[in-house]
Structure 1
Amino acid sequence: MERQQFKIEINAPAAKVYNTMLGEETYKKWTAVFMPSSYYEGSWEKGQKILFIAVGKDGKREGMMGVIEENIPDKYVSIKYTGIVDGDKEITEGSLVGDWIGAYEIYSFEEQDGKTTLIIDVDVLDEYKEYFEKTYPKALEKLKEISE
């Protein structure tokens, strides 16, 4: 597993970027770049469980399960992955999830003069490295578009 970092400057205050990034409806818009049916279930509050879901071609729910380790509004969000979602099952152990357990995704918002630099640090399995390198920048461009 490797930690990758992605950055983008957005011409909007950190509060606007934060709320657009995590808002239920706007989250769907920027994460559609990864999977058109992306959404989340749960809460962004510290200590709460959150599921990042998409509906696969077969109509089955799939995705990642995590815990919000930290959420400082407009500044910082840390997600620790604890398992996967497979249909109606939340799987937290076994060969399907082994490498994802304990992986992190971290969002940092740095505002200066009304502009926000958004920094994403994400742990990525080797087989997804190239996909993330191509897709995450496109998703952040979409976030920038809907935040400005």
Structure 2
Amino acid sequence: MEKVVLQKTILIGASPERIWEILVLDAYTRVWLAEFREGSFAESNWEPGSHIRFEDGNGNGMIGFIREMIPGRVLTFEYTGLLNAGLEDLTSAEALAVRNTRESYRLTAEGDATRLTIAMDLPDQYFSLFNSLWDNALTKIKALAED
């Protein structure tokens, strides 16, 4: 299965610190992750090397760990598998397809604004879907940060 990199960037009229809050605080992540699936949330202690779960509210989602974290600048996850009905799946074909894929967020100050760049490795058959979902999520992140 071929993997591709989806990359998106958006200029946001807010500080890197404000955008960081939107990316990691539960009250905000639930809002913008809903663009991927209503009821979605992230669960982590937000420390480098720690476990992270992205769940849809029904026990399904993705699992991994925080590979790199520089608050206000860089956040990178590496996925290790899936969640299916609340159970970790590390061995199915679907889980193996996402293993070792990464998702990163980079914040770069530009005057009074900040450029947020996301990059996500994914199987090529999901590119079109995530391309539009990320457009919606980035618009939501921008609105939350500029509010």
- Overall identity of the aligned pairs, in %: 27
Q: Which amino acid aligns with 1:27?
A: T
Q: Which residue of 2 aligns with 1:140?
A: 138
Superposed CA RMSD in Å reads 1.0
Summarize deviations over 1:53-103 as a string: whole Å, max 9, x none. 003xxxx31000010011100000110000101112111123231110000
Q: 2:120 aligns with which of 114, 119, 122?
A: 122
Query: Is contact 2:59–2:87 with CA below 8 Å preserved after alignment?
Result: no
Does residue 81 of the first structure (1) align with residue 83 of the second (2)? Answer: no
Deviates more, 1:99-108 or 1:34-43: 34-43
The alignment's TM-score, normalised by the length of structure 1, stands at: 0.94
Q: Which residue of 1 aligns with 2:49?
A: 47
Q: Which residue of 1 aligns with 2:28?
A: 26
Structure 1: unaligned runs, 5 residues or longer: none
Higher normalized helix content (fraction of residues): 2
User: Within 1, Cα distance between the matches of 2:117 and 2:131?
Assistant: 14
Matched length? 144
Q: Which amino acid aligns with 1:143?
A: I
Structure 2: unaligned runs, 5 residues or longer: none
Runs ≥4 residues deviating over 2 A: none
Q: Which residue of 2 aligns with 1:90?
A: 88
Q: Which residue of 2 aligns with 1:107?
A: 105
Q: Which amino acid aligns with 2:16?
A: A
Q: Which residue of 1 aligns with 2:65?
A: 67
Summarize deviations over 1:11-37 as a string: whole Å, max 9, x none. 000000011121111001111111111
Q: Which residue of 1 aligns with 2:10?
A: 8
The alignment's TM-score, normalised by the length of structure 2, stands at: 0.94
Q: Which amino acid aligns with 1:113?
A: G
Q: Which amino acid aligns with 1:138?
A: N
Q: Which amino acid aligns with 1:102?
A: N
